[in-house]
Structure 1
Amino acid sequence: MEYSLNPLESPDLARPDTASREALVLPQAVLWDMDGTLVDTEPYWIAAEHELVEAHGGTWSHEQAMQMVGNALPESARVLQAAGVDLASEQIIDFLISRVIEQVRVEVPWQPGALALLAELSEHGVPCALVTMSYRALAEPVVELAPPGSFVTLVCGDDVTHGKPHPEPYLLAAERLGVDVTRCVAIEDSPTGIASARAAGAATLGVEAVVPVPVLPGLSRTPSLARLDVDGLARILAGDVIDLFQD
């Protein structure tokens, strides 16, 4: 299978025909992005980026910060080095993660509807995986503060060779869960993450956080997780394209 790594390209995924409500089948698993999707931590990352660049005598714009959303951390480190941060990649990553962890330990900013949807998936026996480009040092504290049993496994940025938009993170999550990725629903907020999930073959829901969710053939979109339930995810898996921005 050839993978498209362009966040604005849509692979031609074979989906089942739209099903009636009675025929809906639940996803084998739901694969969640973390930053911006499950928790509203993007402002924490952006504040850490500003702090670091300014400490090294540079300036950091809103536009530059938006271009970083969804990036693998090594790529973000390269961008910050180009902006004047005179540190090794590992030092930049450690600084950013430590700053975000400090904020998360004060308060986990769950996105509206996230905890309710996790609870409903648990009630229906649908396993969940966290698929994030944040490193395990940050992802584990977030999972620990989620309702017990919310996530069966984590795939983090330091677990993979190729970060998003490459499909590896989502393929690895499905492998660890022992499920068919094409029978899963991925929930993402960034064009980079959406590209990763779709390239892997997962039915994908884009949730708008700090960057717009692109309009792409076959991509479902919502302004908030609070507007989706398990039936909605089953409809997405069945081939429905749900666009709640059009309501």
Structure 2
Amino acid sequence: MDLNTVMEIRDARDPAPWRPGDAWLGGGTYLFSEPQPHLRRLVDLGRTGWRPFARTPDGSLEIAATCTVARLSRSAAAMTVPAAPLFEQCCRAFLASFKIWNTATVGGNLCNALPAGPMISLTAALDGRCLLIAQDGSRRRVPVTAFVTGAGRKDLAEGELLRSVTLPARSLDCRTAFRQASLYGLGRSGVLVIGVLDPADGSFALTVTASTVRPVRLWFPLPPTAGALRTAIGSAVADDEWFDDIHGLPEWRRHMSFRLAEEIRRELRDRGER
């Protein structure tokens, strides 16, 4: 879609004061999908040269905001860590064409803050932290679970930039289990639940997304019982936080979240006992 109110596109490497009507341009799959009458200038991140996918000295994984879904998929395929399969599962949850895969970015998916955003699911489940850079150069780190605050809402100030998401080394060494449900064979995720079992200390984490307006991550020092897990989910998600749109009623999303969470609990428990 043409954005006929945009009068200028500026390279992000060229310093210039941020002004009303500016927006960061990553892949642009959302920006160009519908009218944006409030925009006057786009600040293009395409030539920043950020490494899309890099291991840090402590073994953590830093994913640049400009990393595309296709690049994430290719890079993760070469990883040998136990959590590697989860990357491809979440990439496939887009159910998008190759054009979207090669254009859409990890950062864009997080900043759109849509409940069904699979990059939110991936990074929240693996305890990711967002690096945010303000216009004055100051930096802050925010957990993904705190960055996305609701459907379409995020903790991002005017002009602030999501630079990257870092996944700790410990999370990459965890066993994972993935479940997704949709009302249609090739429909948008109505429920997406991920379980993570840490072999180092036996702790268990469950992340619920798509069915809720924000990512919900629950951590347990040991795998919980079925009743304890159900109680924890019910306490963590308020009645009005079960998402409601044409892709699923709140009652169905809630029911499927509990069901898939129990499947994951059993799968990771059984794997941990082997």
More strand by share: 2
Same fold, TM-score > 0.5, yes or no? no
TM-score by length of 1: 0.30
Q: Which has the higher contact order (CA 8 A, sep 6+)?
A: 1
More helix by share: 1
Which structure has the larger Rg over C-alpha atoms?
A: 2
